[in-house]
Amino acid sequence: MTQTLLPVALANYVGLSAVIFFIGVAGVMLRRNPLVMLMSIELMWNAANLLFLAFARAWMNDAGHIFAFLVITVAAAEAAIGLAIVVAVFRTARNVDVDEVALMKG
């Protein structure tokens, strides 16, 4: 039996995703700890992923799953690189406050 109905309307998923995304945005803007900023970026990645999967399910299209898979991979790479940068900055500056670290300031 072909059943295409979502558990709830698609707009609810979009709204939930938007709320999570902007919580992540607020985290990046408000926090000065780079670790928490990276975690907020992870929240944003996941909000986008939720949208991909909701639309894939609503439109019965596998492409959303493929793209969500790519997003997870890129998010993993981003987290690894970001944390390596945090460690490298901490080694040189002994400080990880993003407002205090101004190595690249001209």
Partner 1 sequence: MILFWGLAIVLIGSAVWVVAAKKPVHSVVGLLLHFAALAILYLSLSAEFLAVVQIIVYSGAILVLFLFVIALLSSGVAPFSMGPNRMPKAAVPAAILALIALGLFVYGVSRGVPAHPVPIAAAAPVGPVGAPGVFGSVADFGRALFTANLLPFEITAFILMVAVVGVVLLAGDAAPYVPSRKRARRAEREMREAALRGGDTQ
104 binds partner 1, rule: CB under 8 A: no
Give the chain's radius of gyration (CA, Å). 18
Q: How many residues does the chain have?
A: 106
Distances (CA, A) of 89 to 11, 17, 26, 46: 42, 32, 24, 26
Beta carbon of residue 106, minimum distance to partner 1 (angstroms, whole number):
20
x/- site string to partner 1, residues 48 to 87, per CB under 8 A?
-xx--xx-xxxxxxxx-xx-xxx-xxxxxxxxxx-xxxxx
x/- site string to partner 1, residues 15 to 54, per CB under 8 A?
xx-xxx-xxxxxx-xxxxx-xx-xxx-xx--x--xx--xx
